[in-house]
Amino acid sequence: MTSPPLLTLIIPVYNEKEVIPVFLRETASIVDSMKNIDVEFLFINDGSTDGSLATLLDLKQTYENIRIIDLSRNFGKEAALSAGLHHARGEIAIPIDVDLQDPPELIPVMVDKWREGYDVVHARRIDRSSDSIAKRLTAKWFYRVHNATSDISIPQNVGDYRLLSRPVIDAINSLSETQRFMKGIYSWVGFKSTVVDYTRQKRAAGKSKFNGWKLWNYALEGITSFGTVPLRIWTYIGSIVALIAFMLSIKVLVQVLIFGIDVPGYASLLIAVCLIGGLQLIGIGVLGEYVGRTYIESKNRPVFIIRNIIE
């Protein structure tokens, strides 16, 4: 008899001591009721300093299907997800946040979609009322800007919560880039996919580790990871500004030579210099983002370092 397929739940953890027991209790009750499938909980301790690792070790005495990857420091969620995908044993894997904002009740639904033949099952948030208005608006504009400026499109309102089949996992693990924007990577590898909808919940406990500055840097990472449109935009901006300057110079020349009108000019000259200087600095900043990415990638450092693996 063939053994049932194995599902790996990939759970990054960074200072989530309060919510880990709640997550395990609720999620285990759901996956234990699933038929013809085995489940492992793969926790990635991403440099927690609040006792999350000790909590996981205690819970491992109760839940035998827990595995723990303890990273040497905090590498960030993208690196933690990469570590989870590299060490997932299952035929399928589902990255899921420990804060229970992504309901584990959706796991059986995604597994059923996989049994229907889909390699990727996206979990799409159709109701984000649990998030702040500012977060909802910035997320909306991020997806719009990213999909307009990148070579690939990412599904709107789809986070890391999704099902990935083994061919998808292997394809992602084969990528060598060190600066990782996982939402883009999920879409870049392709494969047959579908979508299931859900309502985003409030955190079960604790506080979000993402602040405005981290979200802003994350957005820049996503926009510059999968296309050079931002660079191309500045070529067009430069051309438009040069054309306007040329037309204004013709106007000034005509005024002086034909009408004899002198050019008053200190204020307008100062404005023009500041405008052009500002545009140049922004353009250099965009260029710097890409040069910086090239510099980091050229070092070829590992995405993460593992201190210990507790089986």
- pLDDT band at residue 136 under the 50/70/90 scheme: low
Q: What is the pLDDT of residues 78-108, one digit of tens each?
A: 888 888 898 989 899 999 888 888 888 888 8
Coil, strand, or helix at residue 139? helix
Nearest to 96 by CA among 48, 192, 27, 35: 27
pLDDT at 175 over 70: yes
Q: Which residues make Cβ contacts (< 8 Å) with residue 14, sequence separation at least 6?
A: 45, 46, 47, 48, 52, 74, 77, 80, 209
Higher pLDDT, 155 or 107: 107
Q: How many CB atoms lie within 10 A of CB 130?
A: 14
pLDDT at 155 over 70: yes
Higher pLDDT, 31 or 296: 31
Q: Tell me the two tokens of residue 234.
A: 């500045």
Higher pLDDT, 92 or 143: 92
Residue 42 and residue 76 in contact, taking contact as beta carbons nearer than 8 Å: no
pLDDT winner (highest mean) among 90-94, 207-211, 285-289:
90-94
pLDDT-wise least confident of 144-153, 157-166, 203-212, 254-263: 203-212
Residue 52 and residue 66 in contact, taking contact as beta carbons nearer than 8 Å: no
Nearest to 14 by CA among 37, 53, 39, 45: 45
pLDDT for 9 equals 92
Where would I find the H helices in 181-302? Answer: 182-188, 212-225, 229-257, 266-299
Residue type, 105: E
Cα–Cα distance for residue pair 191/118, rounded to 1 Å: 8
pTM reported for the whole predicted model: 0.70
